[in-house]
């Protein structure tokens, strides 16, 4: 009988020591990165067999260039807000992504841009929808947060505000790329004949690869002061009409940040991200159910979003510098960089 207390103590010691580096308990309490940054350039049916080596290199190089800009800012002690803005601007200026230059076309053959930003310290936020002549929608979203009494501005009014604040205004033709224009033409051609036009959402999915493919950009950063910021910028979905607005400018759907929990940027079929309040739900699960970042992102994307019928993914980062990529599509353009300068750039599932 005297052996019982001994066995019990042994079990306590053994199980007590089981918390290794990847255990949920450590993930919740231990700071793994003093600062960190994570980005995406869209999720969707991105398959190796459809991608040339040259294209793959171009995407990877641009993701690396963008994330390094943000990482350098954070390393020098800059704010997560600045890191998110400057990183996203690199991707907005690249025709590779569906944001800024390279944005997809609406049914009316225009480019209508959406973006949002959230500050995890103050829970302040800014967003813009349907703007057509502001070079950097993410900068406009941040300026709406810092320089107006509002959270969201749209269309013409947003352009007037941007002009008043001295932001760079461009001719709408700046956003034109032949690739996206042709993509719209193909979709319109198919629209006439085929059935996979979704009348409910009025979005016709990318005919290039017979499936949805997205190219929104997003970034989440944690700075040395423990402040998390998140931002997202997009052209929306090809062939959108009637002033359709997706999740990217909706706080809680496309973007969310809270220093108590995490920051999130989403990409995918926006209607589902709005209905699921995807970005906020990840933070809520961490706050109210004490889930780790990994548990929350995986539940929200693999269970909740998938059950709703939505496709896409998120990049997320928590207050301890843990990072998570989570998506239910074949691929997601993505990269992360930790405080040791370790860089990860990926496109496909593995
Ligand atoms: N989420 C965006 C939208 O629905 C599209 C994307 O992520 O590419 O507007």
Per-chain mean pLDDT for the chain: 90
Cα 18 to chain centroid, rounded: 34
- Mean local confidence (pLDDT), 5-29: 58
Tens digits of per-residue pLDDT, 59-106?
999 999 999 999 999 999 999 999 999 999 999 999 999 999 999 999
| Alpha-carbon separation of residue 232 from 68, 140, 314, 315 (angstroms) | 18, 12, 11, 11
For ligand 1, what atom is nearest to the CA of residue 114?
9
**What's the pTM value of the predicted model, to 2 decimals?**
0.90
Indicate whether residue 236 lines ligand 1 (CB < 6 A).
yes
Q: Is 268 in the pocket of ligand 1 (CB under 6 A)?
A: yes
Structure tokens at 161: 């505000």
How far is ligand 1, taken at its centre, from the CA of residue 214, in Å? 6
- Domain 33-348, what fold? 3.60.20
Name the region of 148 (left: φ>0; alpha: ψ -120 to 50; beta: rest).
Answer: beta
The number of beta carbons lying within 10 Å of the beta carbon of residue 5 is 9
Give distance in angstroms: CA of 234 to centre of ligand 1: 7
Catalytic residues: 216
Domain boundaries, the chain: 1-30, 33-348
Please tell me the distance between residue 176's alpha carbon and the centre of ligand 1 in angstroms. Answer: 18
pLDDT of 280 over the 90 cut: yes
Residues in the chain, how many? 350
User: What are 236-277's pLDDT values in tens digits?
Assistant: 999 999 999 999 999 999 999 999 999 999 999 999 999 999
By CB neighbour count within 10 A (0-12 exposed, 13-18 middle, 19+ buried), where does 201 fall? middle
Q: Which atom of ligand 1 is nearest to the CA of 235?
A: 9
C-alpha Rg value of the chain to the nearest Å: 21
128 Cα: distance to centroid of ligand 1 (angstroms): 14
Residue 245 CA: nearest ligand 1 atom is: 9
Q: Is 215 in the pocket of ligand 1 (CB under 6 A)?
A: yes
């Amino acid at each position: 009988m005297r052996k019982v207390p001994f066995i019990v103590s042994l079990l306590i010691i053994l199980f007590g020591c089981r918390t290794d580096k990847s255990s949920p308990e450590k993930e919740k309490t231990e700071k793994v990165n003093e600062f960190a940054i994570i980005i995406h350039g869209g999720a969707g049916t991105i398959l190796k067999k459809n991608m040339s080596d040259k294209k793959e290199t171009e995407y990877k190089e641009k993701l690396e260039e963008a994330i390094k800009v943000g990482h350098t800012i954070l390393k020098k002690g800059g704010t997560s807000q600045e890191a998110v803005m400057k990183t996203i601007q690199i991707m907005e200026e690249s025709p590779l992504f569906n944001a800024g230059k390279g944005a997809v076309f609406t049914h009316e053959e225009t480019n209508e841009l959406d973006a949002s930003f959230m500050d995890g310290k103050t829970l302040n936020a800014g967003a813009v929808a349907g703007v057509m002549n502001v070079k950097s929608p993410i900068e406009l979203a941040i300026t709406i947060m810092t320089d107006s009494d509002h959270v969201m501005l749209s269309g013409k009014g947003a352009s007037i505000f941007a002009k008043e604040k001295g932001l760079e205004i461009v001719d709408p033709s700046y956003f034109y790329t032949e690739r996206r224009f042709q993509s719209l033409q193909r979709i319109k051609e198919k629209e006439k004949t085929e059935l996979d036009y979704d009348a409910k959402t009025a979005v016709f999915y990318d005919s290039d690869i017979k499936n949805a493919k997205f190219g929104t950009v997003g970034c989440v950063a944690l700075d040395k002061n423990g402040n998390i910021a998140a931002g997202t910028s997009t052209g929306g979905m090809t062939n959108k009409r009637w002033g359709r607005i997706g999740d990217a400018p909706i706080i809680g759907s496309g973007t969310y940040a809270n220093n108590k929990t995490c920051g999130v940027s989403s990409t995918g079929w926006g209607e589902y991200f709005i209905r699921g309040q995807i970005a906020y739900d990840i933070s809520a699960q961490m706050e109210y159910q004490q889930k780790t970042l990994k548990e929350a992102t995986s539940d929200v994307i693999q269970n909740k979003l998938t059950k709703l019928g939505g496709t896409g993914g998120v990049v997320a980062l928590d207050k301890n510098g843990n990072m998570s990529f989570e998506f239910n599509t074949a691929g997601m353009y993505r990269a992360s960089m930790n405080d040791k300068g370790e860089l990860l750039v990926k496109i496909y599932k593995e």
